[in-house]
Amino acid sequence: MLLFIPDERVLLNRIRKMGLTRVFPILHHAAVLFPIHSTMALRHSLCKRTAILCYASLCTLQQTRSVSAETAISHHILNLTDREKRLLTKLYDGLVGGQRAALAESITLVETQHPRKKELAQVLLQRVLAFRQEQERCNGGKPAAFRVGLSGPPGAGKSSFIEVVGKMLTGREQKVSVLAVDPSSCTTGGSLMGDKTRMTELSRDMSAYIRPSPTSGTLGGVTRTTNEAIVLCEGAGYDIVLVETVGVGQSEFAVADMVDMFVLLIPPAGGDELQGIKRGIIEMADLVVVTKSDGELVGPARKIQAEYTSALKLLRKKSKVWKPKVVRISSQTGQGVPELWDTMLQFRDAMLSSGELQARRQTQQKVWMWNLIQENALRHFQQHPAVRAELPELERRVTCGDISPGLAADLLLKVFTTTL
């Protein structure tokens, strides 16, 4: 297709007469008809003033809901090298094509702390987000995937639960991805990464993808990498995204802000089970699952089910259309697993029909944004030259007891704000 470019003065006069509101749709159609390299060629073929005006108008289209993926990220890729462009194209094409290797490499890219690679990861994420939005639009506004968060104390049988549920779903021609948040050692920085060894059958299933992700010692790292990994898994065509956390603590609050449904798994052990789990965790749970309900543990499992059913009645309801339930299952025998999945589908349908699921995801996007702001603000504060110059002395005075930690923090913040 040939594109006629008029003289600069003629083009500027036409733009002024038409107005930017009428020019925007024309530029949008041009971005759709031509690939990004053609749009770039058009930009360079025009003289400078015209090019700036047209290209600024094209970038303004990002604010519209109908903007294409190429237009939305065009201002991000201006400084990319040819090698970086080829890498991103390869990852994106492989990802939306359902290639597991491309998904693994993409998640590795978003987990990196390298500044330049983090920029590349954001460009890739923008393209995947645009692709996912187009999928949801074609699906009538419904989310393309169902996100489920799983939590519970050590020994609750989370890995066994994921294995039996995952195999059942893949047998129903569903694609399942498992993102396991693995705590890193505060001493060595390493992680156990043992989830794949416990999910032997599911890890060999080609319709399933298991990815252990280290926390890197910070809760913010869990939030950023896990949330972005969810987006990549959805872009790769996975219908169900299971997010598993180890233990019951702060990371559960972070994961609950990423998923559509939060499931709490508890073992049928004796003792003060209700006191062993934070009330906030129970309040966040949309479903409580008593595991290992087989053999001699059937009796204790029924008792725990009754106790949690009574406890949930005393807590404030999180949803207007859903009342949290307590169910019993056995991962060893498979008893109760199909009924459990039916209950989870009932939750999804109820939340979708009421609009609460969409509202929850919108709220989670804002929480995600503020988590990233806090993480980046702390990093900038720690790396600020004036703060780094004053920090050793203030740390010494705090450890010696000369000044309080609060005063030291105020002094550092004052140094940071006055030298910006």
When pLDDT is averaged across residues 397-415 and rounded to a whole number, the result is 94
Q: What count of other Cβ atoms lies within 10 Å of the Cβ of residue 235?
A: 25
Query: Is the four-CA dihedral 369, 374, 380, 383 of positive or negative sign?
Result: negative
What is the per-residue pLDDT for 153? 80
CA dist., res. 312 & res. 375, Å (int) = 34
What is the per-residue pLDDT for 70? 54
CA nearest 167: which of 202, 217, 132, 198? 202
Confidence label for 250 from pLDDT (cuts 50, 70 and 90): low
What is the per-residue pLDDT for 371? 81
Enter the pTM of the model: 0.74
Sheet holding 146-151, edge to edge: 208-214, 176-182, 240-245, 146-151, 261-266, 287-290, 325-328
CA dist., res. 288 & res. 326, Å (int) = 5
Helix (H, G, I), strand (E, B) or coil at 248: coil
Confidence label for 246 from pLDDT (cuts 50, 70 and 90): low
When pLDDT is averaged across residues 54-72 and rounded to a whole number, the result is 44
pLDDT digits (tens, 9 = 90+) for 277-299: 666 778 888 999 999 988 888 88
Percent helix, strand and coil across the chain, each rounded to 5?
Answer: 60, 10, 30
CB 238 within 8 A of CB 209: yes
CA dist., res. 173 & res. 167, Å (int) = 10
CB 259 within 8 A of CB 285: no
Tokens of 253: 């609050």
Confidence label for 159 from pLDDT (cuts 50, 70 and 90): confident
pLDDT at residue 369 greater than cutoff 80: yes
Residue 77, amino acid: I
* 331 or 32, higher pLDDT: 331
Q: Using CB atoms within 10 Å of the CB of residue 53, give its burial: 0 to 12 exposed, 13 to 18 middle, 19+ buried.
A: middle
Confidence label for 251 from pLDDT (cuts 50, 70 and 90): low
Q: Are strands 287-290 and 240-245 parallel, antiparallel or unpaired?
A: unpaired
CB 128 within 8 A of CB 224: no
Among 21-25, 126-130, 362-366, 377-381, whose mean pLDDT is lowest? 21-25
pLDDT at residue 8 greater than cutoff 60: no
pLDDT at residue 274 greater than cutoff 70: no
Helix (H, G, I), strand (E, B) or coil at 301: helix
Q: How far apart are the first and last CA of the chain?
A: 51
Among 29-38, 65-74, 218-227, whose mean pLDDT is lowest? 29-38
* 61 or 151, higher pLDDT: 151
CB 242 within 8 A of CB 177: yes
CA dist., res. 113 & res. 214, Å (int) = 13
Confidence label for 248 from pLDDT (cuts 50, 70 and 90): low
Tokens of 146: 């169902």
- Within 73-206, residue ranges assigned H as helices are 82-96, 100-111, 115-138, 158-171, 195-198, 200-203
Residue 66, amino acid: S
CA dist., res. 128 & res. 234, Å (int) = 9
DSSP string, 180-239: EEEPBPTTT--B---HHHH-HHHHT-TTEEEEEEE-TT-HHHHHHHHHHHHHHHHHTT-S
When pLDDT is averaged across residues 209-224 and rounded to a whole number, the result is 63
